[in-house]
Amino acid sequence: MIAVGIDVGKTALDVAMEGDRNVRRFPNTRAGIDRLLRLLCEQSDVRIVIEATGGYEDAVLAACADAGLWIARVNPRQARDFARATGQWAKTDALDARMLAHMAQAFHARLRPHRPLPPWQDALKRWLRRRGQVTEALQRTRQQLAMTLPEIRVLMKKTIAALQREQAVIDAQIKTLLHTHATPALRSSKGLGPVFQASMLALLPELGHLRRQQIAKLAGVAPHNRDSGQTQGKRSIYGGRPDVRVALYMATLSAVRWNPEMKAHYQQLRARGKVAKVALVACMRKLLTIVNARRRDEIKAHEGHAAMV
């Protein structure tokens, strides 16, 4: 096995390979990625690790997966923690590439290889990303509206109107994709609106394929122990996928108001002395568990039908 680490930048890819003292640099372009693929395909049994970099890694990630290469994408915080654990506090592109190669060597058995999303799912993910950007711009502009000159306020109102029109177009595109691909499991409870459905489909494709503990950890709503010896620390949630957690939080806020089952569960937790935020997180985990189980049943039913045909 040959471990490979790729540090991804906007314009360049720094590549470190096990057994090679040099770190090679390729342009982060179609031609540069093709050159990198030719190099990697000459090796046997490679394990490649790259960091998530806000989308700059998408092209090389998809190209390696399409070429049949084993490649995994890791959270930058996870990679930074690994570097510190090995005593590497300095940070350069070359050092990061070597560190990712070490990570591939040490942890490849524990990492999940990347699986390319179907075109519709990738499109839904990109529409969601743009929706988040537009929503953030709208909130920021509205907050600043009352703190400026009247002449500037006129311009800002035009910006708000333009962003609202764009948001309407984005929502229409998302609803079109959901109409074709959303399943009953994602519409099975009050509070599960279009943004929740889109987030589950695009940002949590593992839904229905993992156990409830695994899917809760992936979404960032699993409580983590903080115990040592006779000391039992306070459990808390952290990590996971923040965009998924935000969508789940908003869906749960609606569910504890309008869904009788979730409302009863929330009130029971509050009656037992749980603070509101802890009770709400527990409801988030319960809602995710329910949707995960229903999605799992759908997948099994579909596979059973396909086997019969």
Q: How far is CA 96 from CA 20, 82, 209, in A?
A: 15, 11, 32
Phi and psi torsions of 18, nearest 5°: -60, 130
Helix axes 242-258, 260-271, angle to 10 degrees: 90
Beta bridge partners of 8: 13
The predicted structure's pLDDT at residue 16 = 94
Q: Is the predicted pLDDT of residue 231 greater than 90, yes or no?
A: no
Beta bridge partners of 15: 6, 24
Return the exposure string of 265-304: e unless at least 16 CB atoms fall within 10 Å of the residue's CB, then b: bbeebeeeeeeeebbbbbbbbbbbbbbbebbbebeeeeee
Cα 84 from Cα 88, distance rounded (Å): 5
DSSP 73-115: EE-HHHHHHHHHHTT-----HHHHHHHHHHHHHHHGGGSPPP-
User: Which among 182, 203, 191 has a CA at the least distance from the CA of 280?
Assistant: 191
Domain map of the chain by residue range? 2-110, 119-181, 197-308
Q: Which range has the worst mean pLDDT, 26-35, 169-178, 219-228?
A: 219-228
Q: Is the predicted pLDDT of residue 12 greater than 70, yes or no?
A: yes
Strands 227-228, 231-232: pairing is: antiparallel
| Greater pLDDT, 226 or 247 | 247
Phi and psi torsions of 231, nearest 5°: -90, 130
Q: What is the pTM of this model?
A: 0.83
The predicted structure's pLDDT at residue 238 = 80
Q: Give tens-digit pLDDT for 126-150.
A: 999 999 999 999 999 999 988 889 9
In the CATH hierarchy, which fold is given to the domain comprising 2-110?
Answer: Nucleotidyltransferase; domain 5 (3.30.420)
The predicted structure's pLDDT at residue 307 = 67
Alpha helices per DSSP H over the chain: 30-41, 58-66, 76-85, 93-107, 119-144, 150-181, 194-203, 212-219, 242-258, 260-271, 276-308
Across the range 88-98, mean pLDDT stands at: 92
Helix axes 93-107, 76-85, angle to 10 degrees: 90
DSSP 39: H
Cα 71 from Cα 135, distance rounded (Å): 33
Q: Is the predicted pLDDT of residue 189 greater than 80, yes or no?
A: no
User: Which among 256, 219, 224 has a CA at the least distance from the CA of 237?
Assistant: 224
User: Could you tell me the end-to-end alpha-carbon distance of the chain, in angstroms, rounded to an integer?
Assistant: 40
